[in-house]
Structure 1
Amino acid sequence: MKHFLLLGFLWLFGWNLAFTQEFRGKVLDATTGNPIENARVTDLNSGQTRYTDRYGNFRFQQVSFPLMLEFMAPGYQVYTESFEAEKERTDIFLQKNIDQLSEVVVRSSNIPEQIREIPASVSLISDNDLKRTDNFNLVQNFNYVPGVFVSQGALNTNKINIRGIGARSQYSTNRIKAYINGIPLTTAEGELTLDDLDPEYLERIEIFKGPVSSTFGAGLGGAINLYTNRNRKEQKSITGAFSYGSFNTRKTSANFSFVKDSLDISMNYNNVQSDGYRQNGAYDRVSLLGSAGFLDKKGNYWSFFYSYTSLKAFIPSSLNVTDFRENPEKAAFTWYQAAGYESYAKNIMGISYEHNFSDNFQNQTSVFYNFRDGYEPRPFDILDEDRNSIGARTKFNFVTEIFELPSSLSFGAETMYEFYEVATYENLYEEAEARRSLQGDRLSASDQLRNYINIFAQLNSELTSKLKLEAGINFNTTSYDLEDNFEIDEVNQSGNYSFEAVFSPRVGLSYEAFEGKNFYASASHGFSTPGLAETLTPEGLINTELKTETGWNYEVGFKGNWLRNRLYTELNLYSIQIRNLLVARRVGQDQYVGVNAGKADHNGIEFSSAYQSQLSDGFDLKLFLNSNFNFFTFDRFVDLGENYSGNTIPGVPEYMISPGAEISYKELTANLNLQAFGEMALDDANSGYTEPYHLLNLKLAYALQLGSNLGLQFNFGINNILDENYAASIVTNAVGFGGSAPRYYYPGNPRNFFGGVRLNFNL
């Protein structure tokens, strides 16, 4: 009997050893690979809970297999995983919860901070936000951001303004800095094109509104920072997708991702083609994007980014009011006859290195090269241009104590040298038998070497446990060397020119009045230098009297969580006061020159809110409301004897209100949103306005898991459900020549449909 009892005891003891064992692991950030401290790990079988240490480690001494663990950490998505047997050590990667805005750490800030604690207005577009619309055009997503407006003439004719800065630019975005993975996208003369980046390749977009010179340098309107996916969780996957929409619009894309040990690689191909809603509106773009990263044993990170774009997009141009209302599909007559278009091949590449000297001292340095070869036949001439840019950016971050106050110091510099060659030729399209452009004699030729240097510094200090201070400064010098290579005419534009050095300070305070609720106030200085076209007089001479446009931004706001962090709200009130206002004066058909014409006041209110809740198991609800109200006027503006002082600044809607809802039930997701825009003044004289308009949009998506390694998703959507007739963009201060009516209007697309399929295979 004793033997049987002993054997029974040994059997039970052995069974207990086999099924109640120790389990250890480490919880890491899926993007950076950094450990997450104080993450809660719960054994769902026994109810035991552990918290990770500063290195992300956790340990259960007695567990039973199969083991089901739940991982939770502030600002991260809840993650559950089942384990069938003991492993020596398990790495768990948690994804940032981008939708919980207050907890998001802003990556593009000189000193990383949670969005709620930054004394400035910063908006975030997450990868989930990008999935709420069709995937044909990236910049359409910016129109949901308070304070940002995109004038959309066509897939390739987009102009972004932030808080009205850049609204009076004629055909392109300027006065805004932009980066992708820290690599500058804005040219040395301040122009920016984001149309050719694929939204499906991006992980997030961070938008700083207003002058942010202490962080990014020149950019009176603000800064746009784009980031591609960076994942430390091991994976090998291939994704293929096809989308089709109205106007014979189609997109084919493929993506490959590989993450193993310390190496992560991602490559993307996409081709977008469309006949366009209007005449002469065909579009064809091929893009290749690639990124790679390597994390060494000391935690230092190497990264590489490359982008190639080949584009040919025809231009229907703007219409007068009669054609806009009665025949919006037509193109402007001269652009149609000339078959005007733009084409270019563009390369962007950069290498970055993040080095940890210690836990408190880090550096990030990037070197980059951009190349663009463009050709654009227009009715009035043919533009042929080449642009090569090379530069570097370095930033040091140091955590220390100053006067016994916990502080972080960031300092660094950015420089770019840009080589620009441009020539114009006669367009003899009227002599061609077919409808096409025909290159004639050369009209002009010049080279320009443009360079700038930004030196910046920023200090963040905790004055008390509730009150935080930010202070920064930027020093900028910009110069250019112009060489006129066209010796036939009598005008020689050659010369070396530079703008006065600019010092731009910034200071901000953030106070946590109640738990999770912050008030802030800030003041910042910004500036924008004139572009090449703006520096030339009507006679073709350099305008040496032209000054840098400058402005002060004064802002107060509130950022807060409610309802146990399910609701986030943000309210901003700002006033940007601009001096030496740069305006484009029209001197001929599609010909403009820059002048300093006075002062302008950009006053506004912005409000945003986001709510998310799990109504039941598998049933999630997200609501959002974004809005802004603009009061942009000329303070003092007299040009060619006309006094526009007190008038509304044209090109910006007087308001934007955008409510929306996302409902998810298991594999089905529905997005419904409304965009309401107010009227826009057409010109400086406020002689006319556009009509307010509303756009109602819907998108449905259904995901299927066909196996452990194969996923399938379908989507279908309708844009402009109400079939609104509206002006998606205007040409401010358009002038009619030869008795014709001015062509102010770019018609928006009528009701249109889209759908697509996506297949994902994990190797």
Structure 2
Amino acid sequence: MKSLVSILVLLFTFQLVAQEIKKDSITRLDEVILMEDVIAKKAAGITTSSTIGPTNFEKFNPIDIASAMNQVAGVYVLSGALNTNRITIRGVGARTPFGTDKLRLYFNGIPVTNGTGSSTIEAFDFENLGAIEIIKGPKATSFGANLGGAIILNTKKKQADETILSNSFTLGSYKMLKENLSFQHGAQNFDLTFSYNHFETDGYRQNNNFDRDGFLLNSNIKLGSKGSLGLLINYIDYTAQIPSSLHQTDFDEDPTRAASNWLAAQGFEANKYTLAGISYSHNFSPKLQNTTSIFYSYLDHYEPRPFNILDEFTNGFGFRSVFEGTLENAQYTFGGELYKDEYHWSTFENLFGENNGNGSLQGEALSRNREFRRQLNLFGTFTYPLSNSFSAQVGFNLNKTNYDFRDLFNQASENTSAKRDFDAILLPSFGLRYQVKHGQLYANISRGFSNPSLEETLTPDGVINPDIAQEKGTNYELGASVYLLKKKLFFDLTAFRMNISNLLVAQRVGEDQFIGRNAGQTRHQGLELDLKYAFRIFKALQVSPYISYTLSDHSFVDFVDGDNDFSGNPLTGVPKNRISSGMDFRHPNGLQLNLTHQFVDNIPLTDANTLESDSFMVFNAKLAYTTTLSSRFSLQLNFGANNVFNTNYAQSVLINAVGFGGAQPRYFYPGNNRNFYGGIQLEYML
């Protein structure tokens, strides 16, 4: 809580020294200081959401999307490496061993979460994004109604009648190099964006190299007075070495080490990811519009691990259609989304021990499988103003999920092919909003679900578990969002409680084997506070302190594992208190300074709560200067330092880790030590 007190003291001090504008006989309008980017939200009707825009992005290293998202109360991104991010929202997803699930991820309106609910935000270049919108909890009926919520990524908005060529180039510690070259053209009836990005680094740890290339093409063309056609292609090709997690001794003594078995195997993953989509928008009338998208995705993944080599590829395709309109004073949204993918994977022996120290070597096949996965979401919302200030909204989402697993390796009685057809789930939502001067009060009750991941649907023998069920939960939340002090202070406070039944637990039974099962109930409850303040010093210098605080009081209500009863214990993998705070300084001459801070409380690492990670605080700083060189040229220079006080901390953890062969269990993914970066950005308006 020291950081909270520090921020409040700073805020009070700066307010005292702020100069008072002298009154005169001329009537003056109150000054309005812009604290946030003005970004149109995608959440339907009165559904609340949090948005991160360019002003937030520019505070951080252009490869650090995790820090930007961690500014939002209730959202925590645990980043084990650049290619290993686990996004949790209100504690949902914290028990996932690797990666992100239990939420829906969208890119320019196209769903990019795969058939079992897994999302990879690292498939998108941070510098291509114009906004990230986060809907916390299952109230996002038109975006899947998942228990964790939805994250909507949007590319940068193009300005009409502008043609811009820009290049940003960044160098940093660990031999980091990043470049993003972008061309943007906006006209009355046509716009086009094409960007190429390259990124490479040796990383902080052993066996930690990362090399990525990619491009983004985004275009829209108007078809007459009522229609428009959009094209989106995103391609990423990266290879990332995997240092994996560390046990306590290595974490304390030398966090730069890689896990010994991963280092010996020189483990890595190579990914080629393509997303292509075509969308058509049509205005039937001023009161009814429709946007329909068809899309295709392809992921080719190759990953040598110490225990085997995984070779897989996934073809995904589907469509999404959304109607939006007004009826008298009411607003409505309805539509559907179908996503299907074909997942092919094989495993092979890894003979790295017989390869004379040269790392992984592929041996004989161990398995060959294919799974067909299908998800259908039908949704709708209806928002009605009960008075000038009071509105109500009802919504629904109907989900139908099917898995069809095919064993292509074993024959006859050993073949484990099977199907799983989950019952359709109706997920309603009800919300209220009361508008007050410069703000709103809101409440919501919503029902959500989570599908089991691939590992959770299969037993260690590769057989579909017929007893596994979907997680289901009901979310209750109440909040207030207002601007105070002549709109210089923004205040947002939300209290929530979510009860989840049929908790999905991935129990580790081998180095790469997990058993999925339903293990009781959890209660997720807490408070989320966002405070932002903006004022001026000496008329020219704008100062903006801010703080986001998350209280997570999550626990197991009913959780019995064999002879162990963990009921009442805090939920594993979630810090009880978390604070993100900072101070921004901006001068009209183009100079700006961003100071950011993050505090993360102890995290329970075992269901029995016998071990927890240490709490930590990390401070970052960034200085930037932007100037106009001519009527067409602009220049930005920036320099930043991360982990200013060189804290040794766990940037991600692995819960319920198990040591094999007498080794210590490996719980910790170390964060980078003190590191620096600097960049230059040139922009030319054609």
Q: Report the equivalent of 1:40.
A: none
Residue 350 in structure 1 maps to residue 270 in structure 2: no
Cα shift at 1:196: 3.1
Q: Which has the higher contact order (CA 8 A, sep 6+)?
A: 2
Provide Cα deviations, 1:118-151, integer angstroms capped at 9, x if missing partner: 354x211111100100001323311111011111
C-alpha contact 2:39 2:131 (8 A) present in aligned 1 = no
Within-5 A mapping of 1:115-134: 118=46, 120=48, 122-134=49-61
Provide Cα deviations, 1:595-620, integer angstroms capped at 9, x if missing partner: 00000001110000222334455432
C-alpha contact 2:619 2:645 (8 A) present in aligned 1 = yes
Q: Report the equivalent of 1:740.
A: 663
Residue 558 in structure 1 maps to residue 480 in structure 2: yes
Cα shift at 1:506: 0.3
Q: Secondary structure at the match of 2:476?
A: strand
Cα shift at 1:213: 4.7
Q: Report the equivalent of 2:5.
A: none
Q: Secondary structure at the match of 1:144?
A: coil
Q: How far apart, in 2, do the equivalents of 1:358 and 1:618 lie?
A: 47
Q: How far apart, in 1, do the equivalents of 2:172 and 2:88 lie?
A: 27
Residue 691 in structure 1 maps to residue 625 in structure 2: no
Counterpart among 162, 166, 177 of residue 235 in structure 1? 162
Provide Cα deviations, 1:463-517, integer angstroms capped at 9, x if missing partner: 01111101101111000211110026953221222111100000011112x3123
Q: Secondary structure at the match of 1:192?
A: coil
Q: Secondary structure at the match of 1:173?
A: coil
C-alpha contact 2:632 2:685 (8 A) present in aligned 1 = yes
C-alpha contact 1:142 1:149 (8 A) present in aligned 2 = yes
Residue 591 in structure 1 maps to residue 525 in structure 2: no
Q: How far apart, in 2, do the equivalents of 1:617 and 1:306 lie?
A: 45
Counterpart among 625, 628, 631 of residue 708 in structure 1? 631
Q: Report the equivalent of 2:247.
A: 320
Within-5 A mapping of 1:286-435: 286-401=213-328, 406-435=329-358
Cα shift at 1:520: 1.4
Q: Which amino acid aligns with 1:755?
A: G
C-alpha contact 2:320 2:337 (8 A) present in aligned 1 = yes
Cα shift at 1:593: 1.7
Q: Secondary structure at the match of 1:409?
A: strand
Q: Report the equivalent of 2:575.
A: 653
Q: Secondary structure at the match of 2:263?
A: helix
Residue 751 in structure 1 maps to residue 685 in structure 2: no
Provide Cα deviations, 1:189-226, integer angstroms capped at 9, x if missing partner: 10000113122211111000011352212521010001
Provide Cα deviations, 1:415-456, integer angstroms capped at 9, x if missing partner: 011011111111111111133101111111111111111110
Counterpart among 566, 581, 585 of residue 644 in structure 1? 566
Provide Cα deviations, 1:249-292, integer angstroms capped at 9, x if missing partner: 11022011111221110111111101010000000011111101
Residue 668 in structure 1 maps to residue 591 in structure 2: yes
Q: How far apart, in 2, do the equivalents of 1:567 and 1:303 lie?
A: 39
Counterpart among 380, 387, 403 of residue 464 in structure 1? 387
Question: How has the CA–CA distance of structure 1 residues 171 and 243 changed in structure 2, closer, same or farther, with 3 Å as cutoff?
Answer: same
Residue 183 in structure 1 maps to residue 105 in structure 2: no
Q: Report the equivalent of 1:724.
A: 647
**Whose Rg is larger?**
1
Residue 581 in structure 1 maps to residue 581 in structure 2: no
C-alpha contact 2:405 2:464 (8 A) present in aligned 1 = no
Q: Report the equivalent of 1:451.
A: 374
Q: Which amino acid aligns with 2:596?
A: N
Q: Percent identity?
A: 39
Deviates more, 1:555-564 or 1:289-298: 289-298
Number of residue equivalences: 660
Cα shift at 1:295: 2.7
Q: How far apart, in 2, do the equivalents of 1:296 and 1:302 lie?
A: 7
Q: How far apart, in 1, do the equivalents of 2:61 and 2:209 lie?
A: 18
C-alpha contact 1:213 1:525 (8 A) present in aligned 2 = no
Return 5+ residue gaps in structure 2 as ranges: 1-25
Q: Report the equivalent of 2:523.
A: 601
Residue 109 in structure 1 maps to residue 43 in structure 2: yes
Q: Report the equivalent of 1:610.
A: 532
Q: How far apart, in 1, do the equivalents of 2:66 and 2:613 lie?
A: 22
Cα shift at 1:297: 4.1
Q: Secondary structure at the match of 1:336?
A: helix
Cα shift at 1:674: 1.1
Q: Report the equivalent of 1:166.
A: 93
Q: How far apart, in 2, do the equivalents of 1:383 and 1:647 lie?
A: 36
Provide Cα deviations, 1:54-84, integer angstroms capped at 9, x if missing partner: xxxxxxxxxxxxxxxxxx9x9xx99xxxxxx
Q: How far apart, in 1, do the equivalents of 2:577 and 2:113 lie?
A: 27
Provide Cα deviations, 1:701-752, integer angstroms capped at 9, x if missing partner: 0112111111111100111111111111111100111111110011111111
Q: Report the equivalent of 1:531.
A: 453
C-alpha contact 1:175 1:218 (8 A) present in aligned 2 = no
Cα shift at 1:633: 0.5
C-alpha contact 1:167 1:651 (8 A) present in aligned 2 = yes
Q: Report the equivalent of 2:18.
A: none
Q: Secondary structure at the match of 1:191?
A: coil
Q: Report the equivalent of 1:61.
A: none
Q: Which amino acid aligns with 1:740?
A: A
Q: How far apart, in 2, do the equivalents of 1:389 and 1:196 lie?
A: 15
Cα shift at 1:308: 0.3
Q: Secondary structure at the match of 2:559?
A: strand
C-alpha contact 1:138 1:197 (8 A) present in aligned 2 = no
Q: Report the equivalent of 2:494.
A: 572
TM-score w.r.t. length of structure 2: 0.93
Q: How far apart, in 2, do the equivalents of 1:151 and 1:133 lie?
A: 16
Return 5+ residue gaps in structure 1 as ranges: 1-46, 48-71, 79-96, 112-117
Q: Report the equivalent of 2:205.
A: 278
Q: Which amino acid aligns with 1:466?
A: S
C-alpha contact 1:119 1:520 (8 A) present in aligned 2 = no
Q: Report the equivalent of 2:361.
A: 438
Provide Cα deviations, 1:364-395, integer angstroms capped at 9, x if missing partner: 11111100011000001110111001100011
C-alpha contact 2:43 2:135 (8 A) present in aligned 1 = no
Provide Cα deviations, 1:521-580, integer angstroms capped at 9, x if missing partner: 110000011122111112221101111111110001111111222221100000110000
Residue 632 in structure 1 maps to residue 554 in structure 2: yes
Q: Which amino acid aligns with 1:254?
A: L
Q: How far apart, in 1, do the equivalents of 2:412 and 2:212 lie?
A: 38
Q: Report the equivalent of 1:541.
A: 463
TM-score w.r.t. length of structure 1: 0.84
Q: Which amino acid aligns with 2:462?
A: G
Coordinate RMSD, CA, aligned = 2.0
Q: Secondary structure at the match of 1:534?
A: helix
Residue 211 in structure 1 maps to residue 129 in structure 2: no
Q: How far apart, in 2, do the equivalents of 1:640 and 1:240 lie?
A: 58
Question: How has the CA–CA distance of structure 1 residues 332 and 490 changed in structure 2, closer, same or farther, with 3 Å as cutoff?
Answer: farther
Q: Report the equivalent of 1:39.
A: none
Q: Which amino acid aligns with 1:147?
A: G
Q: Which amino acid aligns with 1:244?
A: L
Q: How far apart, in 1, do the equivalents of 2:674 and 2:682 lie?
A: 28
Within-5 A mapping of 1:92-103: 99-100=35-36
Q: How far apart, in 1, do the equivalents of 2:539 and 2:189 lie?
A: 36
Q: How far apart, in 2, do the equivalents of 1:603 and 1:662 lie?
A: 31
Q: How far apart, in 1, do the equivalents of 2:253 and 2:55 lie?
A: 38
Residue 677 in structure 1 maps to residue 600 in structure 2: yes
Question: How has the CA–CA distance of structure 1 residues 489 and 591 changed in structure 2, closer, same or farther, with 3 Å as cutoff?
Answer: farther
C-alpha contact 2:158 2:185 (8 A) present in aligned 1 = no
